[in-house]
Structure 1
Amino acid sequence: MRAMILAAGRGNRLRPLTDHCPKPLVSVANKPLIVYHIENLALAGFKEIVINLFHLGEKIEQYLGNGAAWGVSIAYSHEPALLEVGGGICYALDLLGSQPFAIVNGDIWTDYPFAKLPHQPKGHAHLVLVDNPLHHLEGDFAIQANGALSRETRGTLTYSGIAVLHPALFANDTPGDIFRLSVVLDQAILAKQLYGEYYNGSWTDVGTIERLQSLENALALTPFMQKIS
Structure 2
Amino acid sequence: MIRRAMVLAAGRGTRLAPLTDTTPKPLLPVAGRPLLEHILEFLHAGGIREVVINLHHLGHAIEERLGDGRRFGLRIQYSWEDPILDTGGGIKRAEPLLGGEPFVVVNGDSLLELHLEDVVAFHRARGALATMVVRPDPEAARYGLIELDAEDRVRRVVGLPPGVEGTFRGFMFPGLHVFEPDIFGWMEPDAAYSVIRTTYVKLLAAGMSVYGFLTPARWVNIDTPRALAAADLTLRTAPFRF
Mapped to 2, the partners of 1:103 and 1:165 lie a distance apart of 8
Given residue 128 of structure 2, which amino acid in structure 1 is its aligned partner? G
Give 1:139 shift.
4.0
Deviations 1:114-162 (A, max 9, x none): 1223264622210000123648447421221222111278531011110
SS of 1:170's partner is helix
Give 1:110 shift.
1.9
In the alignment, which residue of structure 2 is the partner of 1:109? 111
Write out aligned runs for 1:17-28 (5 A): 17-28=19-30
Greater shift after overlay, 165-174 or 57-66?
Answer: 165-174
In the alignment, which residue of structure 2 is the partner of 1:123? 128
TM-score (norm 1): 0.91
Greater shift after overlay, 165-174 or 75-84?
Answer: 165-174
Change (3 A) 1:10 1:138: closer
TM-score (norm 2): 0.87
Change (3 A) 1:28 1:227: same
In the alignment, which residue of structure 1 is the partner of 2:10? 8
Give 1:187 shift.
1.0
Given residue 147 of structure 1, which amino acid in structure 2 is its aligned partner? D
Match of 2:78 among 70, 76, 79: 76
Given residue 205 of structure 1, which amino acid in structure 2 is its aligned partner? N
Match of 1:180 among 194, 198, 214: 194
In the alignment, which residue of structure 1 is the partner of 2:206? 191
Given residue 141 of structure 1, which amino acid in structure 2 is its aligned partner? I
SS of 2:133's partner is strand
Greater shift after overlay, 195-204 or 65-74?
Answer: 195-204
SS of 1:118's partner is helix
Instruction: Tell me if 1:34 matches 2:49.
Output: no
Q: Is the 8 A contact 2:31 2:236 kept in 1?
A: yes
Mapped to 2, the partners of 1:226 and 1:26 lie a distance apart of 18
Mapped to 2, the partners of 1:173 and 1:45 lie a distance apart of 26
Given residue 33 of structure 2, which amino acid in structure 1 is its aligned partner? K
Q: Is the 8 A contact 2:148 2:168 kept in 1?
A: no
Give 1:51 shift.
0.6
In the alignment, which residue of structure 1 is the partner of 2:185? 171
**Identical aligned pairs, as a percentage?**
35
Q: Is the 8 A contact 1:132 1:139 kept in 2?
A: no
Mark the runs of 5 or more structure 1 residues left unpaired by the alignment. none
Change (3 A) 1:102 1:125: same
Change (3 A) 1:133 1:85: farther
Q: Is the 8 A contact 1:125 1:194 kept in 2?
A: yes
Deviations 1:64-123 (A, max 9, x none): 000000111001111121100000000001100212210000000221221223264622
In the alignment, which residue of structure 2 is the partner of 1:204? 220
Greater shift after overlay, 132-141 or 175-184?
Answer: 132-141
Mapped to 1, the partners of 2:81 and 2:127 lie a distance apart of 30
**Number of matched residues?**
226
